Chains A and B, each alone.
Chain A
């Protein structure tokens, strides 16, 4: 079997003849010391990792980068409706619920964080999943420079631009609003 042919779930995958035993990526499992596919697709080796990749929506896992909009604020936490996981948008209506607790908003001065000064309803936030959380929600953190609000609308209804890591300006009125901004790339 050549390496470019399709595999089906349960089908054994031959190990590459030369070279070290690969690490397993997604879509492959080991059963009785035999590699088998668990997805329909072509096994591909990238560096040491052998995987069958399939671009499809998947539930958040630990360390997934997620995008979501803020749906609810409380003094202790902001609730997020996660709509993109690892760059793959979820189908409409199948969003996951995430929570940013106040201690996860930023890395420093955690006890001074005010949720109301970090997020507002409707903001689009980029975060990283740190825990599968409880029955209801995933725990998300924004405690990194590249994480935080990526899109927000001012009180005047215009898209704001970030001016520092904790404020954004409205282009129409020029007023500053407080946000935990993500560092633009």
Chain B
């Protein structure tokens, strides 16, 4: 657009105002605001919302909203012969998913979340039954409330979508995040809590087999804290598993 030099032009970019009062609502050391440290936010999970996909799921935990679609197995294109199937995970943030607008193009964060979700799922899929084929998982993050929450909820949604698509799995994968804030372990941290924490851990496991498929820890943690986070997450994963089970059974019976 041509710049009109005869007038005073507005700024080229604009950003939402940041209020001091928002940032200062609580600080490290305070008690958690809306829930107790070991509580996770309520989960809404619905398989089969995207009808054109082979399988799909939509998950919502408070402000995190993720839609996931599974296509395939389809023939692997442009790759060498492989005895095992491939799992291809792609993550997209919608431009309006964060406080700052995200330009609609692939960026670094998308890929690191995709890698984390891939790691959580890859051991649960019976890829040996699908030679030469690829399963595509598309995860769309409609609203994000912290990266760790996106990884955890994204893994749960993707595993539900895989089950909905009728792809053979060793077990359902559920996933939970935990942060060390001050001296306490807070489960399922929000973006703000994650920012103020020392370190964060996301654990993905198959509760039915009692196996861990992925641990994704960043930041600083004592060994005991990390192990404590893992135990707490694993316990919560069992609870999340029953949510997933109920959602899948309801959709299977219809």
On whether A and B touch (CB less than 8 Å), the answer reads yes
How close is B253's CB to chain A, nearest CB, in angstroms? 7
Minimum C-beta distance from B41 to chain A (A): 23
| A26-B168, A38-B170 given; 11 more Cβ-contact pairs under 8 Å | A8-B163, A8-B172, A10-B169, A31-B170, A38-B126, A39-B169, A40-B166, A94-B71, A94-B72, A135-B76, A135-B132
Asked if residues B54 and A27 are in contact (CB atoms below 8 Å), the reply is no
- The smallest beta-carbon distance between A87 and chain B, in angstroms, is 16
A57 within 8 A of B: yes
User: Which one of A36, A56, A135, A138 lies within 8 Å of B54 (CB-CB)?
Assistant: A56
A96 on interface, CB distance cutoff 8 Å: yes
Find out whether the CB atom of A6 lies under 8 angstroms from the CB atom of B253. Answer: yes
Closest 3 A/B residue pairs (Cβ): A10-B171, A10-B208, A9-B169
Closest to B253 in A: A6
Q: Interface code B192-228, partner A: CB below 8 Å = 1, 0 otherwise?
A: 0000000000000011110000000000000000000
Tell me which of B79, B130, B248 contacts A135 (CB under 8 A): B79
Shortest Cβ distance from B75 into A: residue: A96
Provide the bound-state CA to CA distance between A8 and B81, in Å: 31
- Whether A109 is near chain B, meaning CB under 8 Å from some CB there, is no
A contact residues around B209 at 8 Å (CB): 10, 31, 36
Once the chains are docked, how many angstroms separate the CA of A58 from the CA of B72?
8
Q: Please, which residues of chain A bring their CB within 8 A of the CB of B131?
A: 59, 132
Partner of B73, one of A10, A40, A41, A58: A58
Residues of B46-61 whose CB lies within 8 A of A: 54
Asked if B24 is at the interface of the complex by the 8 Å CB criterion, the answer is: no
- Can you give 19 contacting A-B residue pairs, CB < 8 Å? A8-B172, A8-B249, A9-B124, A9-B169, A10-B170, A29-B126, A31-B170, A36-B208, A36-B209, A38-B168, A40-B164, A40-B249, A56-B166, A57-B54, A59-B73, A59-B133, A96-B74, A135-B76, A135-B132
Per the bound structure, the CA–CA distance linking A71 and B72 in Å amounts to 22
A-B pairs with CB below 8 Å: how many?
A: 85
Q: For residue B249, give the distance in angstroms from its CB to the closest CB of chain A.
A: 5
The reply on B245 being an interface residue by CB < 8 A is yes
Interface centre among A39, A40, A94 (most CB of B within 10 A): A40
Question: At the interface, yes or no: B237 with Cβ under 8 Å from chain A?
Answer: no
**Chain B: number of interface residues, binned into ranges:** 20 to 34
| CB atoms of A27 and B249 under 8 A apart | no
Provide the bound-state CA to CA distance between A96 and B131, in Å. Answer: 13
Q: Is A72 an interface position by the 8 A CB rule?
A: no
Is the Cβ of A91 less than 8 Å from the Cβ of B168? Answer: no
Q: In the complex, what distance in Å separates the CA atom of A59 from the CA atom of B209?
A: 27
Main secondary structure of the interface of A (DSSP, over half): loop
Asked if A11 is at the interface (CB within 8 A of a chain B CB), the reply is yes
Cα distance A29–B188 in the bound complex, in angstroms: 33
Q: State the B residues within 8 Å of A (CB).
A: 54, 71-76, 79-81, 124, 126, 130-133, 163-166, 168-172, 206-209, 245, 248-249, 252-253
- A91 near B54 with CB under 8 A, answer yes
| Complex Cα–Cα for A57 and B133 (A) | 12
Number of interface residues of A (CB under 8 A): 28
B208 touches A11 (CB 8 A): yes
With A6-B253, A10-B170, A29-B126 known as contacts, the answer to whether A59 contacts B163 (CB < 8 A) is no
Known: A9-B172, A54-B166, A97-B75. A59 touches B132 (CB 8 A): yes
Per-residue interface assignment for chain A, residues 31 to 44, with 1 indicating a CB less than 8 Å from any chain B CB and 0 otherwise: 10000101111000
A46 contacts partner chain B, Cβ-Cβ < 8 Å: no
- Give the one of A10, A29, A39, A138 with max B CB within 10 A: A10
Known: A9-B163, A10-B206, A132-B131. A27 touches B74 (CB 8 A): no
Do residues B248 and A8 form an inter-chain contact, with CB atoms below 8 A?
yes
A11 to B169, CA, bound (A): 11
Q: Is A134 an interface residue when CB atoms closer than 8 A count as contact?
A: yes
Known: A6-B252, A8-B245. Contact between A29 and B170, CB under 8 A?
Answer: yes
How long is the Cα–Cα vector from A132 to B54 in the complex, in angstroms?
23
The interface residues of chain A lying within 8 Å CB-to-CB of B79 are 135
- Contact yes or no, B168 A27, CB < 8 A: yes
